[in-house]
Structure 1
Amino acid sequence: MDERVRLRLDVAYDGTGFSGWAAQPERRTVAGVLVEALDLLLGAGVAAGLTVAGRTDAGVHATGQVCHVDLPGEVWRAHDGRLLRRLARLLPGDVRVRAMGVVPDSFDARFSATFRRYEYRVTDAPWGAEPLRRHEILAWPRALDVDRLAAASAGLVGEHDFAAYCRRKENATTLREVTRLDWRREADGVLVATVQADAFCQAMVRSLVGAMLVAGDGRRPVEWPAALLTRRERSSEVTVAPAHGLTLVAVGYPNDPAEYARRAEATRRLRVPAGS
């Protein structure tokens, strides 16, 4: 039997027209579209084991998503150097594979990752979002203060139980380490939150943003988002920010490929419930 080759794919997409990443019956998803294109190009089921770094929700975008697939070595050799351009011709305009390359079998797009970084864009301009950017920027109806946003975010950095900000899954931990959480106002007036952590639970980033925005516009004290970390269940007071303002911009991996397997093993022990 021919050896298999593992490919890393770097993927970008406009999430507006997708029901999220994960394949779902009768729904258009990023994984579904990508698998369909690979099947048309290589043959049904030839590209196997599609695994993604982070399953984005419906409407969430990505410029730095990462996934991997396995191909028979002979198929890769037959298409090497041409597969990227051929995929570009088959894929719809709202999803692109920007790069691909062979990685060790020990590389796991999900479990080998050391961090995920998201950006959330919001405008408080009185006229709302610019028409050409309305699918990536949330229009906020109240003025936002960058200093208040910064103060609200400060207490959320570090390792905490983010149960108040997560949609809980049975037997899954809500303990996460946020390594970066900051805000900036760009030259065009758009506010950008950058959030980085080892991993995120479902709806966590958008929940954090939702809590910080009401502190940023003065309706809640700046201490309120961090005070919720004492909760051990999801807070009904937190409004999840709309999906379209959120973009996955980067996924990090160990610099040394020899560390892929070690990182994956450590992550599985931490994130996967026993018996799963």
Structure 2
Amino acid sequence: MSERLRLDVAYDGTDFAGWAVQPERRTVAGVLTAELVRLFGSADGLTVAGRTDAGVHATGQVCHVDVTPSAWDRLGDSVVRRLAGLLPGDVRVHSVVPAPEGFDARFSALWRRYEYRVTDDPWGASPLRRHDTLAWPRPLDLDALNAAAEGLLGEHDFAAYCRRKEHGTTIRMVQRLHWARAVDGVLVATVQADAFCQSMVRSLVGAMLTAGDGRRAVEWPGSLLTRRERASEVPVVGAHGLTLVEVAYPADGFAERAEATRRLRA
């Protein structure tokens, strides 16, 4: 018998080799698991909504872990405060609560939303934002970026933008994709989909940026959706500009949603 907990997590990905545990490398899951075990005595099955790559950040990551009910009863509301004292400064756990029945952080999710920050200022990124903002060497046109984004919306085979995995599908539903200029002049791409393939967001952004700076037609990123293999001419932009900002879940029916997602991903 175990107690499943939902954790809401944020991290600066700069000094991490990604989310997943790797031998001899510092990862978010490795650091978090070590402190959860120290706190609860055991922590099984740490599962994340989106396995971010090396250098990618998160403000709205979600994961679940199974602990003994007695340990949860003993610690309860003190867990967030205790983790704040144990974890390094580049990882924060905002919330720890008992998960609803059937909850799976990965497979119960409805969608993930990312933001990618780019500056086209000639002096580059602000020193205080250099770890989460890409400096682009050419002026960018907002209207061209959004025109390029329109051709990527909807359900498609994104093989041209993904690293294909054996027995996995590259069909995804991109529900939201648009660009805006913030008050500081930084361009922010918002990308929301049911799920993402490895490097998919960074590839989409790279393709749109080449249209935004005028080197490609705005129709070019969408035209690649006819491909059934990775398009080598698509630039994969730096990981540091990407942040996972939100993961959405249904109000109930978590187990049913998880089962449906497993069938789809297979």
Matched, 1:59 2:41: no
* Cα distance in 2, alignment partners of residues 12 and 105 from structure 1: 24
Pairwise CA distance, 1:78: 0.2
Q: Give the equivalent residue in structure 2 for 1:215.
A: 211
Pairwise CA distance, 1:32: 0.1
Q: Give the equivalent residue in structure 2 for 1:102.
A: 98
Q: Give the equivalent residue in structure 2 for 1:260.
A: 254
- Render the CA deviation track for 1:211-237: whole Å, top value 9, x for unaligned: 000000000000000000000000001
* Cα distance in 1, alignment partners of residues 39 and 167 from structure 2: 40
* Cα distance in 1, alignment partners of residues 36 and 256 from structure 2: 30
- Render the CA deviation track for 1:34-92: whole Å, top value 9, x for unaligned: 0111122222xx11110000100000000000000011111100000111100110000
Gaps of 5+ in 1: none
Q: Secondary structure of the equivalent of 2:77?
A: coil
Matched, 1:34 2:32: yes
Which letter does structure 2 place at the counterpart of 1:252? Answer: A
Q: Give the equivalent residue in structure 2 for 1:236.
A: 232
Q: Give the equivalent residue in structure 2 for 1:5.
A: 3
Is the CA contact 1:63–1:249 (under 8 Å) kept in the aligned structure 2?
yes
Task: After TM superposition, list the pairs within 5 Å mapping 1:1-276 onto structure 2.
Answer: 3-43=1-41, 46-255=42-251, 257=252, 259-272=253-266
Pairwise CA distance, 1:170: 1.0
Query: TM (normalized to structure 1)?
Result: 0.95
Q: RMSD value over aligned CA atoms?
A: 0.7
Q: Secondary structure of the equivalent of 2:250?
A: coil
* Cα distance in 2, alignment partners of residues 263 and 181 from structure 1: 24
**Percent of pairs with identical residues:** 72
Is the CA contact 1:159–1:178 (under 8 Å) kept in the aligned structure 2?
yes
Runs of 4+ off more than 3 Å: none
Is the CA contact 2:202–2:238 (under 8 Å) kept in the aligned structure 1?
yes
* Cα distance in 2, alignment partners of residues 36 and 57 from structure 1: 20
Is the CA contact 1:15–1:58 (under 8 Å) kept in the aligned structure 2?
yes
Which letter does structure 2 place at the counterpart of 1:38? Answer: L
Pairwise CA distance, 1:4: 1.6
* Cα distance in 2, alignment partners of residues 176 and 42 from structure 1: 37
Q: Secondary structure of the equivalent of 2:45?
A: strand
Gaps of 5+ in 2: none
Which letter does structure 1 place at the counterpart of 2:113? Answer: R
How many corresponding residue pairs? Answer: 266
Which letter does structure 2 place at the counterpart of 1:72? Answer: T
Is the CA contact 1:206–1:241 (under 8 Å) kept in the aligned structure 2?
yes
Pairwise CA distance, 1:104: 2.2
* Cα distance in 1, alignment partners of residues 202 and 81 from structure 2: 34
- Render the CA deviation track for 1:136-159: whole Å, top value 9, x for unaligned: 000000000000000000010000
